Amino acid sequence: MTDFYQKTADEALEMFNSDKKSGLTTEEAHERLEEYGPNSITQQKSKSAWDLLWHNLNNLIVYLLLAAAILSFAMGETVEGIAVLIAVALAVLTGFFTELKAQKSVDSLQSMIYTTSKVIRDGDVEQIKSSELVPGDIMVLEEGDAIAADGRIITSRNFACIESALTGESEAVEKSWRETYDDEIPLGDRRNVVFAGTAVTRGSAYVVVTETAMKTEVGKISGMLTNSGGDKTPLDLELDKLGKALIIAALIAGIAVLIAGTLTNQPFTEMAHISIILAVAAIPEAMPAVSTITLSRGMKTMAEHKALVKSLSAVETLGSTSIICSDKTGTLTENQMTVVEVVLANGDHFEVSGNGYEPVGSIEKDGKEIDPNDNEDLIELIRDGVLCNTAQLKQSDDQYDIVGDPTDGALVVFGAKVGLRRRHLEEDNWEKVAELPFDSENKFMVSVYDHDNGKRTLIMKGAPDVLMDLSVHTDETYQKWQSANEEIAANGHRVIAIASISDYQGSIEDTELKDSLDNLSLNGLVGIIDPPRTDVFDSIALSQAAGIQVKMITGDHPKTASIIARDIGLKNYEKTMTGREIDHAVDTPEFEEQVRETAVFARVSPENKLQIVRALREQGEVVAMTGDGVNDAPALNGADIGVAMGIRGTEVAKESSDMILTDDRFGTIVDAIKEGRIIFDNIKKYVAFLFSCNMVEIITILLSVVFLLPMPIQPLHILFLNLVIDIAPAMSLAFEPAEANLMGRNPRSRSESLVNKLFLGRIILSGSVIGLTAFGLFTVLMANNYQLIYAQTATFTFMAIGQLMHIFNVRKQNSFGFDKSLFKNRALVFALLLSVVLQMLAVYLPFMNAVLGTAPIGLITWVAIFVAAAISTIVVMLLKKVINFN
């Protein structure tokens, strides 16, 4: 691979046999288009409808249900088989249509470069489709142009580009064709080349195209995207474990029945049928449907809180996030350069409030707000910053933006805050008569204005060290300026100096301005930053209190990044690591530990970001990566959860992410993590509820087999319980509010199972208590010579009521759930009432009697059922208090 930034302009032209005046011929361009292909990015293929359908079919619980349905049909139990197939269809189709709706096929990278470009062909400037650019083309770039290919600058004038989407740096990058490099340098420091996906913010240039399509820096990032990600989320892994647990439970139940039947000389056919019943009882048929619906509701809730989640599993994965790797520019900061402090020649120091480009804020001195109009020197400094400037402040509705250089824009906004705008000054007889644009060689800009009946003023702004050397002052004054400059820089602020000649008598020829700077007076220094977003400090504090590490990853200078990290309250902000250090350490045994210990990663490349994410995931962390630029896309794609900014984010970042923030607030990420934790808690609750209910059925049937009693319930009773009675309360658990200590506990580790031994112990214990009670009720009824159908109906009804009452033990992890908080979940109240009504219909409706094999039961039996259910619920509650199974 050729590093074109290490070539001179003439060498680059020679390599491509191109001429900077005439460019390529039309014939040459067509030949090269055939050779190199169109200037377009290979896009990732979105999932087809069939892929999404298979994703929802390829599930262990679905396989178990299908096996149970086939066995039911084989045994002649057609109604049972159909009922199970209905459960399969409900689970699969719900997930399919939800994911189909959520998927957005965004042609992000292609749209990024599908523009028009000006090139020189056959000696004339032509406008062509960017997809037709080829290596050797001479691009003509001017302020505001989008750059559609990588290239070496061959001539330039006052040329600067915004590369924040690619490098993460918020400041415009000065470019010059004269720059050459012998050594390898980071992407953001290559001043003699331009990159696809960036834009011209100032000046003009001619550029020879060196790379197109997948060979551009954007193309390389796209290649990284296709090679990263694809790992299963924590929820996917947990559901796989659940499926395996169900297989084991079904096998154990079936084998136990066959063994018991063999030992008691029961007919094999009957025992096989009972085994099928137990298999159906072991499988929570409602699980896939409830999981999908719960996660879908989570997607909707997060969308209401400005977080668009693109996949169901990602909703829950957010809740287990242990590290947030956050891009700085535009995520933790506003991505809007802002004046924050001013030092005048007399030593006065002022602080400026207000973030971003909105011209709102105040000026303070010694902690007290002042009226800037009362300080003539301050007003003149602000005025000069506005006049020696080419940026423009634009307003669209309530949004403000800057056209031009962001640093210039900060000075324009500063002026607008005190009522000074360039057009008003020009109307007030400030007429520009000469200008020397800023360039990287001079490091200053000069403007000359006529005003006040012919009086002429020269204004200069630029690098402090340059203006200090050019201005007239004593050694003592020089040292004061030097100290002030260092103090502002130590705060992580970019320093701009403003100087003037109040009665300028020199030349107004642009080429001679820099040679006529006698009597230049340095009037002040301005500190400019890309300020932190207003909600970031509290959000980071909440994250860290919840045991979530926050790491800053940026393309900025390490010192600047560390100071921003300090200001937003990041722990261990002083521990930094640069991209170059990562490159040297990535293959060492200590790398993963270094990444864990580091809080701020600076001057990093897109590949470095992905290496950081992978190192953290290798240590078992669940990583959320936030970002908005092209440079963030590989890490967004490779993290457990990629979080893109919806307002400032590039389409590349959005396409690569799992979640898009529509308000760009870092706080929304924390809100989403909280919602993810709620969802995981609620998943855990309905898993406990459904498994406990199934355990009730298994225990009751096994005891009946062991004691040679008739079946206490019929197969259709089990399906009715699992698909009708249990499903509404289980679904309503998705609406449970957050527990009090939700954000005060550490995130669960990637290795922590949803269904661990302690959790299973609680399920088995509670299911056994209710199951023993059900068996006891059935035994008493049979001992008192009740008809089998009556005893089965009563046992069936007890299971329904007992399981519904058991939900009060499930909805609170460490307390009983029958309290005033119940009415915060109106869905649960409604679900419980609905399930009771449905059970009564199953008992008393003649049609249901015929289908389900039930019979009406009397008042005394109802009293016995409720008493038994209350006793079993209290026993489970007391056992939960004594034995902590959480």
Which residues are catalytically annotated?
A: 327
With b for 16 or more beta-carbon neighbours within 10 A and e for fewer, the 476-513 pattern comes to: eeeeebeebbebbbeebbbbbbbbbbeebebeeeeeeb
The end-to-end CA distance of the chain, in Å, is: 57
- Supply 329's token pair: 């520019």
CA 609 to chain CA mean position, Å: 15
Query: Reading across the β-sheet that carries 431-436, which strands appear in turn?
Result: 368-370, 363-365, 349-352, 338-344, 521-529, 494-501, 455-462, 444-451, 431-436
Q: At what angle do helices 234-263 and 287-304 cross, to 10 degrees?
A: 160
**Using CA atoms, how far apart are residues 158 and 177, in angstroms rounded to an integer?**
11
* Cβ contact 197:221 at 8 Å: no
**Using CA atoms, how far apart are residues 141 and 131, in angstroms rounded to an integer?**
16
- Calculate the CA dihedral of residues 370, 373, 376, 378 and round it to 10 degrees: 60
- Supply 800's token pair: 């329904």
Q: Which residue matches tokens 């009693």?
A: 709
- Supply 360's token pair: 């709102």
DSSP 428: T
**Using CA atoms, how far apart are residues 249 and 246, in angstroms rounded to an integer?**
5
* Cβ contact 205:141 at 8 Å: yes
Return the number of other C-beta atoms located less than 10 Å from residue 528's C-beta: 23
Q: Which residue matches tokens 């005060």?
A: 744
| 518 φ/ψ angles, rounded to the nearest 5 degrees | -65, 150
Residues composing the chain: 886
Residue type, 187: L
* Cβ contact 154:139 at 8 Å: no
DSSP 723: I
Q: Coil, strand, or helix at residue 20?
A: coil
